[in-house]
């Protein structure tokens, strides 16, 4: 199945003069792909990721997500799709410091119908996907950066999203931890725990592990 199809997608910010952050971007991303988005600072990478995350809408063109045109949905409609189908992780892991791993992960189901049992079962499944089940009661301050990022990935996975979007996921990690996280993401795609992974990265060795690289310069994708 096709995860994303962009047809001449543009995003112009209404500054004076207008900022053309993305210009007529057309691309297809399929299930089973791990894709890197690269390019210099200010090129439009975060703007593109926000569109893919349904946090923002294009000002021109179309974005089809899993067969549905999402270009002109209301904020509520976008929010529903986002909470059910999209997982995100960031450079700084954004875990709650006073909560243990399992309850940080369960927060990933915040916008789902919930019961404590399903939340804990889902959280333990997600922690096992990132090999952190043995640390389920640990709080973030007792974890390494790599372990914190694993828990953040588990939180993103807990609602079984169709796609995992990553904004500089290894930006705060050393080489060894960074390699381990990338290997983990590769495994998640190959086992289809999450069918599609998209990574914004400045790190060439992270991009080398991806099936494909989308390079953006001055709002234009190549
Ligand atoms: N909300 C906004 N309003 C106005 N201009 C914006 C807004 N967000 C981004 N821009 C502009 O759009 C362009 C692309 O920005 P974007 O954040 O997508 O770059 P980036 O590739 O993620 O850069 P970096 O690698 O530094 O994170 C830049 O010129 C930026 O100043
Ligand atoms: Mg950015």
Which pLDDT band holds residue 188 (cuts at 50, 70, 90)?
Answer: very high
pLDDT higher than threshold 80 for residue 116: no
Mean per-residue pLDDT for 173-184?
Answer: 93
Mean per-residue pLDDT for 196-206?
Answer: 95
pLDDT higher than threshold 80 for residue 14: yes
Q: How many distinct structural domains can be found in the chain? A: 1
3-state secondary structure labels for all residues of the chain = CEEEEEEEEEEEECCCCCEEEEEEEEEEEECCCEEEEECCCCCCHHHHHHHHCCCCCCCEEEEEECCEECCCCCHHHHHHHHHHHEEEEECCCCCCCCCCHHHHHHHHHCCCCCCHHHHHHHHHHHHHHCCCHHHCCCCHHHCCHHHHHHHHHHHHHCCCCCEEEEECCCCCCCHHHHHHHHHHHHHHHHCCCCCEEEEECCCHHHHHHCCEEEEEECCEEC
Give 126-165 pLDDT, tens digit per residue: 999 999 999 999 999 999 999 999 999 999 999 899 999 9
21/73: higher pLDDT: 21
Q: How far is the CA of 53 from the centre of ligand 1 (A)?
A: 16
Protein residues near ligand 2, an ion, with CB under 5 A = 46
Mean per-residue pLDDT for 107-116?
Answer: 70
Q: Which numbered atom of ligand 1 lies nearest the CA of 22?
A: 14
Calculate the dihedral angle through the C-alpha atoms of 61, 35, 54, 77, rounding to the nearest 10 degrees: 100
> Residue 221: CB within 6 Å of ligand 1?
no
115/141: higher pLDDT: 141
Mean per-residue pLDDT for 53-68?
Answer: 96
- Which pLDDT value is given to residue 16? 96
- Which pLDDT value is given to residue 119? 74
- Which pLDDT value is given to residue 7? 98
Nearest CA to ligand 1 atom 30: 42
Calculate the dihedral angle through the C-alpha atoms of 17, 22, 26, 27, rounding to the nearest 10 degrees: 180
- Which pLDDT value is given to residue 108? 85
> Residue 11: CB within 6 Å of ligand 1?
no
pLDDT higher than threshold 80 for residue 118: no
In this structure, what CATH number is given to the domain that contains residue 23? 3.40.50.300
Q: In terms of residue numbers, what domain contains 180?
A: 2-221
Mean per-residue pLDDT for 166-184?
Answer: 93
pLDDT higher than threshold 80 for residue 110: no
pLDDT higher than threshold 80 for residue 117: no
Which pLDDT band holds residue 115 (cuts at 50, 70, 90)?
Answer: low
Give the chain's mean pLDDT.
93
């Amino acid at each position: 199945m096709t995860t994303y199809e962009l047809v001449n997608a543009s995003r112009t910010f209404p500054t004076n003069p207008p900022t053309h952050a993305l210009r007529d971007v057309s691309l297809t991303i399929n299930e089973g792909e791990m894709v890197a988005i690269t390019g210099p600072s200010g090129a439009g990478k975060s703007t593109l990721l926000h569109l893919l995350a349904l946090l923002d809408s294009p000002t021109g063109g179309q974005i089809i997500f899993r067969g549905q045109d999402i270009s002109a949905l209301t904020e509520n409609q976008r929010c529903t799709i986002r909470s059910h189908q999209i997982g995100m992780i960031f450079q700084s892991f954004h875990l709650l410091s006073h909560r243990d791993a399992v309850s940080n992960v369960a927060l990933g189901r915040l916008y789902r119908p919930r019961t404590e049992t399903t939340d804990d079962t889902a959280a333990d499944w997600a922690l096992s996907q990132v090999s952190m089940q043995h640390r389920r009661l640990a709080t973030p301050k007792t974890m390494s950066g790599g372990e914190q990022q694993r828990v953040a990935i588990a939180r993103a996975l807990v609602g079984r999203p169709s796609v995992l979007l990553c904004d500089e996921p290894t930006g705060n990690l050393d080489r060894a931890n960074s390699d381990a996280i990338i290997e983990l993401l590769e495994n998640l795609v190959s086992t289809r725990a999450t069918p599609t992974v998209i990574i914004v990265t400045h790190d060439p060795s992270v991009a080398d592990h991806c099936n494909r690289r989308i390079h953006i310069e001055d709002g234009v994708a190549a």
